[in-house]
Structure 1
Amino acid sequence: MTQMTLSRSAASLKSVRSQDQGRNVAADALRAYLNSRPTLSASACRSCHRRFYSAQPAPQSDHDGTPNVQNLQDEQSGYAQWKKQRLANKEFFTSLLSSAATKRDAKAYISRLKSPSKKISAAQPAATSTSMKAQSSVNVGNLFSRSRAAEQSPVFTQFKDEEQTVEEVETLSVAVVKINNVSTMAENILSGVAQTLASLSRLGMVPAVVVEEPDQADDNHRRELLTHSADRLVNALDQVSESGARKLDNCFRLGPDGRPEIFLQKLVTRPLHKGRIPVVVPLTFSDQDQRVVSIAANDALLALTRELAGLSFNPTTGGSLREAEEKGLPLRKQISLDRIIVVDETGCIPSTKSHDQKHVFVNLEQEYSRLQEELRSSTDSAVSQRHASNLKLFEDALRMLPHSASGLLTTPLEAANTARLTDDEPSNVGTRRQKNPLIHNLLTDKPAYSSSLPAGRLTQDSAMASATTSTFVKRGMPLTMLPNPDAHVWTAASTPRLKLTDGRIDLDRLVYLIDDSFNRKLDVEAYLKRVNDRIAGVIIAGDYEGGAILTWEKPPGASDDDTSRLVPYLDKFAVLKKSQGAGGVADIVFNAMVRTCFPNGVCWRSRKDNPVNKWYFERSRGTWKIPETNWTMFWTTPGLLEKPNSQTFPDYEAVCRTVQPTWADGKKLVD
């Protein structure tokens, strides 16, 4: 689209932007990518705008005073196309505005669209690139100006922003999507879902969609229903996407192991590289029966995932697994499968234990078995077999992908959350349009809100608690808690106490984690001398990507034998720099600490100028700036200030005042 056209489109969105103040997509980074993607082909632009926006006089007709019917038809067609594109732009930009990505999120998003041939400073968006300037035909003005509130959205980081470089690659990012029950979906919901899928493609992640319908007694009827659903979705996508969609109903065959596999790889990859959205019908050809039969949508999605991940191979006799994996390497260089998305009416994974009755984030490595058992044993009518089936689908699919890949489970209504759908429906005065979970997830790779927020915080903000019916899923990381709280409850009276020199702890890696997280060197000998006889427990996330050391601290004046006054204290909370602000590492460790290890409360301190304090503030039940010190005290203990004549708060403050730092870097910081 020309600069004049999109400038007009941007101007038309001023009213939308005024309603969406406080929302932000950190467009200093996003603008570079959007500017490099013209919305219409050159021929389409010429047909649309030669008549309406040319600075030259309109051409004169050869027939004096007689209108040229062909010219009128061309003008009407061009105007209709322009109007359609104008509406699409409005929906696209409004969806971005409502997703409210921060500057940090935008940097991470751009880094996933990187190119190995070029390095750019993260502080200076790729828009400064000469090649992108040459390609750009889009002028979005100041549509993407950042809001202060979004910029200050707290993330876990223990060091100030440093200059980083981002690289750009030409690898095509792909999301595999399963959509349930398209045949009965309302027209406006289907249109909204199609608009969201088109927006994902426009933002650099092309979806490949598998349709799913309920099982039918008659397989012929089910095949007809699946084909009808695919046709409906393709037609809806053609209405909102310039590149359109393509139905694939002949891409599977049954492999030697009885599982479906992609018959010909190019059937799927060619549309993706052209920006067309493949809509896959879960039908396969059976060599045994010599006929086409329907298969489960989950099996079709897994076969598609294996193919796009470069894992769909059949080692020949005498061939090694390594040789077979190398055959898939060229495809993995061309296509990066980043997301598994399920759009299902049943919605997010339910929880019988959490305050809001839903799992907003699932760490599969840690929680999969427990969640499956919880779903199987639940008698709640809101829990269905489809929840367990979808959870298993994420487990099987993400196992084939890198750790950076993620999954999202949401409802059709949330997936259809577009500007058009919202504008057509009445809303209460002051009602804020919720985030579209698919767009938000693409830009941030995070759930709609942090899973480590306490129940009290969600109760105070009912809008946040009800803001999503989506579950964000990561392959995640294992979590080690020493001692195991299931076998030994962490109490002050427990003996013998754990030591950091225990053979189950890699002390060197733990020290490196602390040094890297705090950007300071720990005096290991002094630290061990201080804490080794008072360790309450240690939490380690993944391969020492994050962790916490918790101690029992004696307040001044307390008796050595009085274990009732020992204070549960978070002595060290550390996350590797590369994992801070992303991946959910901090949330995983914090959740384990407050929900499993110390459900009755824990306290800690942080310097008043520590950037992580905003993150701590949201997750604590209370804070106190300790007078005449540079410390802020935090706690998660319920009702700490509501107990008259209680010694707990003074003991917390006394411990936070008197714990001595043990750093070896020689830095002189005011405490």
Structure 2
Amino acid sequence: MNQTALGAVRSHYAAQLTCGNVAAEALKAYLISHSCSPSLFTRSNSRFYSSQPAPRTDDPASYNAQDVTERDKRSSFTDRAKQRLANREFFTSLLSSAVTKRDAKAYISRLQRPTKAAPEQTPAPSRSQPQVNTGDLLGLTRASEESPVFKQFENGQHSTVEELETLHVALVKISNLNAMADEIVKGIAQTLSSLSRLSMAPCVVLEGPQEKSPQATRENLTQAADKLVAAIDAIHPFGARILDNLLSLGADGRPRVFLRKLLTRPLRRGRIPIVLPVAYSAEQSQAVSTTADEALLALTRELSGHNFSPRTGEQPEQEAAKLESTRKQISLDRIIVVDETGSIPSTKSIDKRHVFVNLEQEYAALQEELRSSTEGSVSQKHASNLKLFRDALKMLPPSSSGLLTTPFEAANTARLSDNGVSSVGTRRQKNPLIHNLLTDKPAYSSSLPTGRLAQDASSIPVTTSTFVKRGMPLTILPNPEAQTWTATSKPRLQLTDPRIDLDRLTYLVDDSFNRKLDVEAYLKRVNERIAGVIIAGEYEGGAILTWETPPGCSDDDTDRLVPYLDKFAVLKRSQGAGGVADIVFNAMVRTCFPNGVCWRSRKDNPVNKWYFERSRGTWRIPDTNWTMFWTTPNIFHNVPQQRSGIFLDYEAVCRTVKPTWADGKKIAD
């Protein structure tokens, strides 16, 4: 980025970012200090050449150096002004989407590319000298020595070196683009360009309505592609390219990518491919229409390496190495669907939509909910989009995610309002595609209580987007569907149960708390008190819940036993992304203990903000370093601050539970 643009950014945002969030500051500092990073700004570093034809030096009458210089200055000034405006919009959108410092760090760590060793250059063999002394007969003239030599693919290793660098890709399905207003299309083009500048190369698949004839359908798609290409070319330095010959029908009748490099070359060069769902049929010797979902799945199979076919005669070790190399070239990180139907509807949540879907756990129930719903907001398109996410994400690593949003939200950019009305004091809606790229999270946490959403709607971002993960299975012991978690349930689960991998559970707790658990002492304390255990995925997150006895009470007095969250843990690598904490917390408060649970945390624990948002109430326990949280309703009497017996039992338990850490530190943890 040139110094003029950087200066404009610094001066424009100095005042605004003084009180901004820490993540925005961290990300801004990184971007400015790495202004020459190829992943971010080489695509916006285009030099400003004059648009005027170069003067001819052999024609004095047509040459006026002063006029040419003035024209160049004016042209350069205009181009730089446009560039400053584009940079200002880009930085505004970027910084407003960075939510936390952890999000910014996670994104920056992905941006930092590994240093590639320079390929070894094998010196060309020297030509043998002629045996006959030819004198100057074969000598080169001065003109031929100084003439330029044009070589194509001089470095034969160029493409190989390029492909050593992982290319991050987002597949974007856009539905019914012809029905969108021009401003919406321009906004979507701006968002796609921003994704590209943020090292996420977008590849678009267009979906159109079914017309009366296949020819009419293809004409509609071609018109939509031309419309989107024109919008992208006006914004994106490297423009867009229509690919209408990328797919062919395989032997199984499914479309597949005809030639991989037709897709990967434009992506690596910064261009945005626009793929039409049209496949060539060798059997019919003609192009046939296919669905956009089938086309997107074909691209997913190709980019994820599922179409890899080894050569005949290769050894298994060579095949495995080539497959691994192919998969490392492309990282398919996002599946994005832009559809006017919007987010997956919900009949249970207060905002009537699913903000986050864990497919592994929720897919079957959601499809049944959509199928049986009689509400007008539910359409067959919701079910088909959900199935598309399921089919695509199951071919990708767990780190990949999906996003379903509307054209209006996808077009949300940082353009300043032309009406001159100040928007000071209002919260600008985040662009879900940029927000999702930087955070790998939904617009707001799915574990926020619906009551809090209703009471504090002004602080919750309005969104019509659904964040989707392939997710993870959820193991709940004992199974609440077969055995309700009550204090009277006997016999009680123990952590030494063969269904629980105690070593992995211990590692999860140690890693999350950054302390070693005294396993023997811990088992002695809780093994007869376990209410249940929740395990997310392959021990990526979990919770251990117990029935605690208040001081002075008997263990047999089950009416007073306190439901207590003894350990809530998430692996460090899974913290802040992927929704692991939300999945575990939701299972605890909605499935296992819907009537309430309590827990405690250090007063200076940075996680407390997260706890505050999800609890019904908190209490700083006097003369301790503990803050108590609970989700139980009505633990106060009608008289404000008049504490009930339930509250006093909760406080007594949170005050007296003994830590069992191996380090023996006398700190409240």
Which of these residues, 40, 44, 48, is aligned with residue 45 of structure 1?
48
TM-score under structure 2 length normalisation: 0.85
2:655 corresponds to: 657
Separation in 1, partners of 2:116, 2:307 = 32
Task: Quote the Cα distance in structure 2 between the aligned partners of 1:47 and 1:65.
Answer: 16
TM-score, normalised to structure 1, is 0.85
1:366 deviation in Å? 1.2
Aligned equivalent of 2:106: 108
Residues 505/422 of structure 1: CA separation in 2 closer, same or farther (3 Å cut): farther
Shift of 1:244: 0.7
Aligned partners of 1:201 and 1:207 also within 8 Å: yes
Kept in 2, the 8 Å contact 1:302–1:397? The answer is yes
Deviation at 1:221, TM superposition (A): 0.6
Instruction: Select the residue among 349, 374, 385 that pairs with 1:390.
Output: 385
| 1:237-268: CA deviation from partner (whole Å, max 9, x where unpaired) | 00111111111111000011111001111111
Flag structure 2 segments of 5+ consecutive residues without an equivalent.
118-163
Following TM superposition, by how much is the alpha carbon of 1:583 offset from its aligned partner in structure 2, in angstroms?
2.1
Offset at residue 117 of structure 1 (A): 3.1
The one-letter code matched in structure 1 to 2:37 is S
Equivalent position amino acid for 1:116 in 2: P
The aligned amino acid for 1:668 is: K
Q: Say whether 1:262 aligns with 2:257.
A: yes
User: Within 5 A, what are the aligned runs for 1:322-341?
Assistant: 326-341=321-336
Structure 1 residues 72-106: Cα deviation after superposition (integer angstroms, max 9, x where no partner): 76566545433432332121111112213322212
Relative contact order, CA 8 A, sep 6+: which one is greater?
1
Q: How does 1:191-202 map to 2 (within 5 A)?
A: 191-202=186-197
Corresponding residue of 2:180: 185
Aligned to 1:130: none
Equivalent residue for 2:644? 646
**How far is 1:487 from its partner?**
1.5
How many residues matched? 613
Structure 1 residues 422 and 402: CA distance shift in structure 2, 3 A: farther
Displacement of 1:425 in angstroms is 9.1
Evaluate the alpha carbon distance shift between residue 415 and residue 670 of structure 1 in structure 2; reply closer, same or farther with a 3 A threshold.
closer
Counterparts of 2:4 and 2:78 in 1: how far apart (Å)?
A: 17
Task: From 491, 498, 517, give the equivalent of 2:486.
Answer: 491
Residues 16, 580 of structure 1: alpha-carbon distance in 2 compared, 3 angstrom cutoff: closer
Task: Determine the C-alpha separation between the residues in 1 that align with 2:64 and 2:313.
Answer: 79
Distance in 2 between residues matched to 1:579 and 1:428, nearest whole Å: 37
**2:453 paired with 1:458:** yes
Please name the residue that 2:463 is paired with: 468
User: Which region of structure 1 is more displaced relative to structure 2, 225-234 or 519-528?
Assistant: 519-528
Judge conservation of contact 1:449–1:464 (CA < 8 Å) in 2.
Answer: no
The match for 2:371 is 376
Q: Check if 1:7 corresponds to 2:10.
A: no
Task: Kindly provide the amino acid, as one letter, of the partner of residue 90 in structure 1.
Answer: R
Do the aligned partners of 1:25 and 1:96 also contact (CA within 8 Å) in 2?
no
Between the aligned partners of 2:618 and 2:386, the Cα distance in structure 1 is: 38
Tell me if structure 2 keeps the 8 A contact 1:29–1:103: no
Give yes or no for the alignment of 1:358 onto 2:361.
Answer: no
Deviations 1:474-496 (A, max 9, x none): 11111100011112111112222
Which stretches in structure 1 are left out of the alignment for 5+ residues?
A: 52-60, 120-168
Q: Deviations along 1:612-642, whole A, 9 cap, x unmatched?
A: 2222112111110111112110101123224
Decide which of 521, 528, 534 is 2:529's aligned counterpart.
Answer: 534
Q: Match for residue 168 of structure 2?
A: 173
State the SS of the aligned residue for 2:629: strand
Letter in 1 for 2:581: A
SS of 2:337's partner is strand
Structure 1 residue 600, shift from structure 2 partner:
1.0
Residue of structure 1 aligned with 2:247, choices 252, 277, 283 = 252
| 1:370 Cα deviation after fit | 1.3
Of 367-376 and 242-251, the range deviating more from structure 2: 367-376
Paired residue for 1:159? none
> Deviation per CA, 1:160-181, whole angstroms, max 9, x where unpaired?
xxxxxxxxx8322111111111
For the residue of structure 2 that corresponds to 1:520, the secondary structure is: coil
CA offset at residue 312 of structure 1? Answer: 1.5
CA deviation map 1:1-26 (0-9, x unaligned): 52124423554566876897888263
Larger of the two Rg values belongs to structure: 2
| Distance (whole Å) between structure 2 residues aligned to residue 521 and residue 20 of structure 1 | 37
| 8 Å CA contact 1:23, 1:100 repeated in 2 | yes
What RMSD in Å do the two structures reach over aligned CA positions? Answer: 3.1
Of all paired residues, the percent bearing the same amino acid is: 66
Q: Distance in 1 between matches of 2:511 and 2:203?
A: 39
1:316, CA displacement in angstroms?
7.8
Q: Verify the 8 A CA contact 2:263 2:273 in the aligned structure 1.
A: yes
Trace 1:89-488 onto structure 2 (pairs within 5 A).
89-117=87-115, 170-314=165-309, 326-420=321-415, 422-423=417-418, 430-488=425-483
Q: CA deviation at 1:39?
A: 5.4
